Amino acid sequence: MTRIAVVGAGAWGTALAALHARGGETVALLGRDAETIAAIAKTRENPRYLAGIALPASIRATIDPAEALAGADLVLLVVPAQSLADAATALRPYLAAEATLVLCAKGIARETGRFMSEIVAKALPDHPLAALSGPSFASDVARGLPTAVTVAAGDAAEADGLARRLSTETFRCYASSDLRGVEAGGALKNVLALAAGIVAGRGLGASAEAALVTRGFVELRRLGEALGGRPETLMGLSGLGDLVLTCSSPQSRNFAYGAALGRGDDLKGLKLAEGVFTAAIAARLAEDAGIEAPIVQTVSEVLAGELSVDEAVQRLLARPLKREAG
Ligand SMILES: NC(=O)C1=CN([C@@H]2O[C@H](COP(=O)(O)OP(=O)(O)OC[C@H]3O[C@@H](n4cnc5c(N)ncnc54)[C@H](O)[C@@H]3O)[C@@H](O)[C@H]2O)C=CC1
Ligand SMILES: O=C(CO)COP(=O)(O)O
């Protein structure tokens, strides 16, 4: 049994399927939209999420979970964070008993504050769990551009093995045993990318953008540690690395969403921005932990319509002066 199944045929699932099929793995891609799956099978392209990027013919794209999961020892879970509980539950009858599950979504359940690992451990107990996260745009990975990410599992030797298995010539996986730190960094950077987008969209200048990313990183570290992550993980690819990527590129959907907010554009029709669903719960977790996270808090209030963009900027500028390391 050496087969990878990718659950979720959106941008990231399709990119990971392409990467590993090119790397020589036998890969199945499970989607839920029959039209998209039929288009992948026919045109070797995902016209909805990765238009214009050729996919390897060897990917078996299907909407049938039994077909996708049969014989898979590694299952990449690549549906959005808020859909993961339902998607995981639906997989239960089809998973091989010994299959390892790799969490690829970046978010926290908005209702419960649960991390992806907690959700999946509840829905699919007894499977080894890992997380893959780091600076990696789907279209870059699907095109075979060089990328480096973190692969974390509770057991260090297992993380080493998975990192080796998931690495290719262009995709370097660094192993970590800090699952929580990797999950926290991935979820929080999305909220901070919204803030960076707001600053850019409002035209506040490159200096303000750099200040926002730096102070955002302070919050990511503080809150990430309070949630159980290790400092070195939060300073690594899945924390700082992904923060830098998503806060600096309009290619990021979270950054693009924030920029649209900053410009006062219509938000309808924008692509999935996970930070929109994570912001309020991240702000609540910070409050519960007694952690100061003014940027996360402000993003949450802007998204809730409780604060205008200009009021948000004013509020952040008016915070009491303090020592930088404080
Ligand atoms: N796009 C990117 O560059 C990257 C995305 N991610 C993360 O991966 C996750 C997925 O993102 P994308 O693939 O980009 O999103 P997407 O919006 O491109 O695609 C999401 C896919 O999930 C499917 N889906 C939604 N609910 C489902 C359910 N209940 N059951 C089965 N399928 C369901 C949708 O039909 C769609 O195909 C997010 O958490 C994102 O933060 C992580 C790294 C890179
Ligand atoms: O997580 C990502 C890159 O590492 C993708 O970011 P967006 O979801 O903001 O596009």
Binned at pLDDT 50, 70 and 90, residue 53 comes out as very high
Distance 292 CA to ligand 1 centre (A): 30
The mean of the pLDDT values for the chain is 96
Catalytic residue positions? 189
Stretch 312-320: mean pLDDT: 88
Identity of the amino acid at 268: K
- Tell me, yes or no, whether 234 and 277 share the same domain: yes
Does some domain include residue 226?
Answer: yes
- Tell me, yes or no, whether 141 and 261 share the same domain: no
Does some domain include residue 322?
Answer: no
Residue 194 pLDDT greater than 70, yes or no: yes
Domain of 29, CATH number, reads 3.40.50.720
| Number of domains within the chain | 2
| pLDDT of the residue at 326 | 64
Binned at pLDDT 50, 70 and 90, residue 2 comes out as low
Threshold 0.80, pTM exceeds:
yes
| pLDDT of the residue at 1 | 62
12 is in an annotated binding site: yes
- Tell me, yes or no, whether 50 and 138 share the same domain: yes
- Tell me, yes or no, whether 234 and 153 share the same domain: no
Residue 149 in contact with ligand 2 by CB distance below 6 A: no
Binned at pLDDT 50, 70 and 90, residue 319 comes out as confident
Domain of 205, CATH number, reads 1.10.1040.10
- Tell me, yes or no, whether 167 and 188 share the same domain: no
pLDDT in tens, 259-276: 999 999 999 999 989 999
Q: Which atom of ligand 1 is nearest to the CA of 13?
A: 13
Among 315, 221, 203, 219, smallest CA distance to 258 is for: 203
Q: Which of 145, 161, 177 is the C-terminal boundary of a domain?
A: 177
Ligand 1, pocket-test mutation among 79, 89, 237, most atoms within 8 A of CB: 79
**Residue nearest (by alpha carbon) to ligand 1 atom 30:** 87
134 is in an annotated binding site: yes
Distance 87 CA to ligand 1 centre (A): 11
Domain holding 239, by residue range, is 180-317
- Tell me, yes or no, whether 64 and 130 share the same domain: yes
- Tell me, yes or no, whether 138 and 251 share the same domain: no
Pocket of ligand 1 (CB under 6 A): 8-13, 31-33, 49, 78-81, 83, 86-87, 104-107, 136-138, 272, 274
Does some domain include residue 79?
Answer: yes
Q: Which atom of ligand 2 is nearest to the CA of 274?
A: 8
Among 142, 160, 135, smallest CA distance to 20 is for: 142
Structural contact between residues 169 and 145, judged by C-beta atoms closer than 8 angstroms: no
Which ligand sits nearest to residue 258's alpha carbon? 2
- Tell me, yes or no, whether 206 and 79 share the same domain: no
- Tell me, yes or no, whether 166 and 33 share the same domain: yes
Does some domain include residue 243?
Answer: yes
pLDDT in tens, 93-132: 999 999 999 999 999 999 999 999 999 999 999 999 999 9
Does some domain include residue 325?
Answer: no
**Distance of alpha carbon 193 from alpha carbon 187, whole angstroms:** 10
pLDDT in tens, 230-260: 999 999 999 999 999 999 999 999 999 999 9
